[in-house]
Structure 1
């Protein structure tokens, strides 16, 4: 599919960069799906597969971008790279929508949003509070940071994490660089942001073939714990919602996501995906997953 490199400015003057996908033949302004990746992940990490599938099977544009401070996107001046603040990332989704609406080849009244894992939570928030959104696709989402944090972190490790947060705040206040923590580690007893075996396998594989870096700031973990994106899930309605949940998800636990889905109002659709958190991105499950998502887009954004 034709793909162009794009960039746009956020409301706080950060330059975000990504790709814009178009169907092969375009004769009129088309709907657009805005897409960003999850916790520390880059657009190269299988988002191109989804965008290519959607734009080749539907009359649909796709805007894919790197989150601020990651990949090809800039950080805010004076702020560290690899820092994940949910309020910034949800605001950036809305700024990406504004960029899409500014293009003459996009139908500004038909904008959808797609997110996975951490950004799967973001799209629930944005879909509720930004009424320009006409369809929400939420894949293996983080829906409750507090509950998720306490599933991932052993209770006897929590005091050490609290001390780490406090020490980092004091160090930054004293003008020292932001503390960092690995995203993944082979040793589950060492501190990391995503301490599951499938996270280690997924990210280390991509580290060998992309410019992904195995670090986030300590503040990112504290911000994750306090984030509750499903607080607004009942406000997404009447915008159509598709929630894709993996049946054996240990990173964003299945039962927590199902409970959040139960609080969403109609119209909504639940898709249970075989396997674990990362099994919908590629391999045998990708075809089934992308087909279900494409059909949802066909019915709710491209009709």
Structure 2
């Protein structure tokens, strides 16, 4: 069962999403899994499949929401849409937890967070600093923005990007609209936020059947480079952590995720999936991925 919901953030932005409950829900309050998507993605881009799967397999509710400035969610006063600032999105996760705790159908002391790709990094931070979180599921996460940026951007393109960041700051200070870049481009040599062929295939397919827009602000890319979501990964414990890593991930590189996982403390679980970054969302590995996540939730949240 799915209903449309909305809630307010601490800075009075309205975020909108879905609330899932099991079809044959027991009468008592249930644990809740908070879910949001990654870089520029919308909740319609496979999160409904994950939430439906979890609620059909477990006595669990799911709160799925669009990040601010994307999809059905609003953005802040004088803030542009299509802008991704990690600190804001992390704070919004905590506000989503607060909203879930106000619901009579949620067990207030059993709330977990789920994130994928960019938000897979967010939940590492949230799980460490928001002690209300009882379990963390981090899927194909971005763990180190600086290292990730320099894997994706050719060294000879970096000076051009630095000039772009500088000119955008000056333009915005002068009252001009924020600069924009495409999220993906068919030509990986042209400027884009995610310059990999599999990123183009995934997002362009969704662009044809959803409200997803192929643009983000230039400031979003600068914020990505400075973001270090795994800084507190060793502080998540004793909250349980499941990290799902794709074996051949070139967007959020496999080795960076494994290095971060090695710094996490117990209890922790690692699930390595075959394939690349986007194989975690659908296709032949979706069932295997969900099965492991359900097992983790059953052990640490729904037991």
Match of 2:44 in 1: 44
The alignment status of 1:219 with 2:219, answered yes or no, reads yes
Q: How does 1:69-88 map to 2 (within 5 A)?
A: 69-88=69-88
Cα distance in 2 for partners of 1:72, 1:290 equals 26
TM-score using structure 1 length:
0.99
Q: How does 1:97-112 map to 2 (within 5 A)?
A: 97-112=97-112
Root-mean-square deviation over aligned CA pairs:
0.4
Cα distance in 1 for partners of 2:231, 2:224 equals 14
Match of 1:17 in 2: 16
Cα distance in 1 for partners of 2:16, 2:2 equals 13
Cα distance in 2 for partners of 1:49, 1:283 equals 12
Q: How many Å apart are 1:57 and its aligned residue?
A: 0.6
Match of 2:254 in 1: 254
Cα distance in 1 for partners of 2:124, 2:61 equals 21
Match of 2:235 in 1: 235
Secondary structure of the corresponding residue to residue 279 of structure 2: coil
Kindly provide the CA deviation profile for residues 25-67 of structure 1, in whole angstroms up to 9, marking residues without a partner as x: 2211000000000000000000000000000110000000000
Match of 1:174 in 2: 174
Cα distance in 1 for partners of 2:24, 2:254 equals 40
Cα distance in 2 for partners of 1:188, 1:3 equals 38
Match of 1:284 in 2: 284
Cα distance in 1 for partners of 2:230, 2:10 equals 24
Kindly provide the CA deviation profile for residues 228-251 of structure 1, in whole angstroms up to 9, marking residues without a partner as x: 000000000000000000000000
- How many residue pairs match? The answer is 302
The alignment status of 1:267 with 2:267, answered yes or no, reads yes
Kindly provide the CA deviation profile for residues 128-155 of structure 1, in whole angstroms up to 9, marking residues without a partner as x: 0000000000000000000000000000
Cα distance in 2 for partners of 1:3, 1:229 equals 31
Match of 1:300 in 2: 300
Q: How many Å apart are 1:111 and its aligned residue?
A: 0.1
**Unaligned regions of 5+ residues in structure 1, if any?**
none
Q: How many Å apart are 1:188 and its aligned residue?
A: 1.1
Cα distance in 1 for partners of 2:224, 2:286 equals 27
Q: How many Å apart are 1:77 and its aligned residue?
A: 1.2
Cα distance in 1 for partners of 2:235, 2:128 equals 5
Tell me which stretches of 4 or more aligned residues in structure 1 moved more than 2 Å. none
Match of 1:8 in 2: 7
Kindly provide the CA deviation profile for residues 75-105 of structure 1, in whole angstroms up to 9, marking residues without a partner as x: 1011100000000000000000000000000
Cα distance in 1 for partners of 2:79, 2:231 equals 28
TM-score using structure 2 length:
0.99
Cα distance in 2 for partners of 1:157, 1:286 equals 35
Q: How does 1:149-164 map to 2 (within 5 A)?
A: 149-164=149-164
